[in-house]
Copies of this chain bind each other. A is one copy, B any other.
């Protein structure tokens, strides 16, 4: 008898966890992703800030699924779903499924402002992380060629928009890259010409956290020389300036956008109803209404917990991936699945190399203790044992020598 085919769209934390949950089960699994690797996104900002190389935070999907005898991988861009025909549509052709798990994640949201889309750098995938690294380092090199102080200041002003964990981590890492490392590389650099600015529309950074941790993070950021502008909205961006809502302009050649995020374009392409952030509306069992064979998980899924939308976080995606694997096993056995329930393990954000905030139920850590906790969690969870060794070497190297190993401007041709 032919085994039912489970097609999983997306090899992120959700998709991969789901594939693992189907190990040894009587199904054939096909994972599809536009990249041939799984990305450890929590450390992406360290690629963008020249501390880690791509090989340290990404691992080939095919290598990760080797232990899964019933799983295969196909690299393709996913363009849509033929829900009635039971086919996933990709740029390489269609793949028929008996069960489908949509897990293609999220992308930057510019809220329809095309000047943001055009002139800011995103930090959602590895290519974007490398592009930021190349861009920041190129600005420093270019700044050595100009005698015009205004132009040089624009080259040396680095703006991060968005005070969530990604923005805070990127601003912290950028500031340390400049103050600890590049400052030594550029002997004639006037550090007063360099600005790292974090812009947030809300009155706080890290709004997800309790007030005491928000304050601790803000304090850490400012101590690291980052100008934090709260209650400030970006109206438009050009290739050399940011225009703020009040009319003020900041000359800057580098604007990193972390202030908006929405579900990947696949959500729209499915044609099913969407909820906030363009996420796909799902049943409590993570199914699409009317299509019990189609599940949606992770950032793409508009799931709720007691009425509130679940955040776009790795633990959510992983728990949903595990849940859907179980739901498919239930379906094969003609059992009704129980609704998905999220168990919150807590949230964390790090600010540079020795400070972090962690909120774990009633336990709140900040500063150095928070950072040690952050370090342990990430080192344990980084993609592989080999990466763990290499990442540890790099982190120790930086900690001791204030030096970033991979500040290279590299572009792969073709």
Contact = CB atoms under 8 A, between A and B. Distances in A.
Interface stretch (A59-67, A323-331, A338-346): A59-67
Most chain B beta-carbon contacts within 10 A, residue among A55, A127, A390: A55
Interface residues of A, number: 57
A226 to B, nearest CB: 24
Contact of A36 (B55, B393, B403, B409): B409
A406 interface: yes
Contacts of A127: 410-413
Interface string A130-143: 11011101100110
Contacts of A134: 412, 414
Interface string A49-93: 000011110101011001000001011100000000000000011
Interface stretch (A182-190, A201-209, A309-317, A366-374): A182-190
A324 to B, nearest CB: 24
B407 A60 contact: yes
Contacts of A406: 53-55
Contacts of A133: 412
A390 to B, nearest CB: 5
A408 B185 contact: no
Contacts of A260: none
A126 interface: yes
Main secondary structure of the interface of A (DSSP, over half): mixed
A272 interface: no
Contacts of A413: 127-128, 130-131
A99 interface: no
Interface in A360-414: 384, 386-387, 389-390, 393-394, 397, 403, 405-414
Given A36-B408, A393-B386, A74 B144 contact: yes
Contacts of A185: 60, 62-63, 66
A410 B412 contact: yes
A413 B125 CA distance: 10
A390 B145 CA distance: 34
B54 A410 contact: yes
A35 interface: yes
A394 B209 CA distance: 39
Interface in A1-60: 35-37, 53-56, 58, 60
A35 B413 CA distance: 14
Contacts of A141: 36, 74-75
Contact of A145 (B63, B92, B403): B92
18 contacts: A36-B407, A54-B406, A55-B405, A55-B406, A60-B185, A62-B185, A62-B186, A63-B407, A75-B141, A75-B142, A75-B144, A121-B414, A130-B410, A134-B414, A386-B393, A390-B390, A411-B412, A412-B412
